[in-house]
């Protein structure tokens, strides 16, 4: 059985940084796949002896807030279809944006597990700002720094429990 986790979130929250850090755990295969999945990167991650596929979404979306809701809907829909679990990534340094709200609305509708991950929690001060994300209403909330690696172990523990 192969378990797949997709990382979704608006541009610039740190999805690719997180993806790359996860793959450092192991020499991974990262490939661009053509066709409908052209804008995603695939890798294999492992944690505590458990292996899973990891998808980084939004590779070709420009790093601005200026993307169409239609594009976001498409990205989230494909991710929900492809994955067994979703990491919904947000950015503590930016707070909750309209785009985060829009994505949260879409993700609340899936029955697949969604792990709300507040990234860029690099220090204690950021942790205070980050608590505002509880308002989005997700049960599983993780505070991480993809830059330092802080908090990522707890997220991975929770993810591999599903395998
Ligand atoms: P993506 O568009 O969601 O894939 O975001 P990227 O991974 O390209 O990261 C966007 C920016 O955020 C880059 O400048 C990263 O270096 C920065 N970044 C990513 N993770 C962190 C983090 O944990 N802390 C801080 N301070 N910056 C981060
Ligand atoms: Mg990216």
State the CB neighbour count (10 A cutoff) for residue 105: 11
Q: Which one has a higher pLDDT value, 68 or 117? A: 117
In which band, very low, low, confident or very high, does the pLDDT at 29 lie, cut at 50, 70 and 90? very low
Give the Cα separation of 14 and 28 in Å (integer): 19
pTM of model > 0.95: no
pLDDT digits (tens, 9 = 90+) for 60-86: 555 555 556 677 778 888 889 999 999
Residue 25: pLDDT over 70? no
Q: Which one has a higher pLDDT value, 96 or 39? A: 96
Give the Cα separation of 75 and 89 in Å (integer): 14
Ligand 1 atom at shortest distance from the alpha carbon of 9: 3
Going by alpha carbons, the residue nearest to atom 2 of ligand 1 is 12
Mutate to test the pocket of ligand 1, among 10, 11, 14 (most ligand atoms within 8 A of CB): 14
Residues tagged in the binding site annotation:
9-16, 56-60, 119-122
Mean pLDDT of the chain: 85
The mean pLDDT value for 102-124 works out to: 95
Give the Cα separation of 163 and 161 in Å (integer): 6
Residues tagged in the binding site annotation for GTP:
9-16, 56-60, 119-122
Lowest pLDDT segment from 17-31, 41-55, 94-108, 145-159: 17-31
Structural domain total, the chain:
1
Contact 89, 15 (CB under 8 A): yes
In which band, very low, low, confident or very high, does the pLDDT at 138 lie, cut at 50, 70 and 90? very high
Residue 63 sits in a domain whose CATH number is 3.40.50.300
Structure-token pair, residue 123: 């220090």
Give the domain range for residue 94. Answer: 4-160
Give the pLDDT confidence score for residue 160 in this predicted structure.
Answer: 96
Contact 132, 121 (CB under 8 A): no
* Percent of all residues in the chain with a pLDDT value above 90, rounded to a whole number: 61
Residues with C-beta less than 6 Å from any ligand 1 atom: 9, 11-17, 63, 119-120, 122, 145-147
């Amino acid at each position: 059985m192969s378990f797949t986790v997709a990382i979704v979130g608006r541009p610039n929250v740190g999805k690719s940084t997180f993806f790359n850090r996860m793959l450092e755990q192991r020499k991974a295969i990262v490939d661009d796949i053509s066709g409908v999945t052209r804008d995603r990167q695939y890798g294999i991650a492992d944690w505590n002896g458990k292996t899973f596929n990891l998808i980084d979404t939004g590779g070709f979306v420009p790093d601005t807030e200026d993307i169409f809701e239609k594009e976001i809907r498409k990205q989230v829909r494909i991710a929900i279809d492809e994955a067994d679990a979703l990491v919904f990534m947000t950015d503590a340094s930016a707070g909750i944006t309209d785009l985060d709200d829009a994505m949260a609305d879409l993700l609340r509708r899936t029955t697949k597990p969604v792990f709300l991950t507040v990234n860029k929690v690099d220090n204690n001060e950021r942790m205070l700002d980050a608590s505002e994300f509880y308002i989005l209403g997700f049960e599983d909330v993780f505070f991480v720094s993809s830059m330092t690696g802080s908090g990522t172990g707890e997220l991975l523990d929770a993810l591999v429990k599903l395998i």
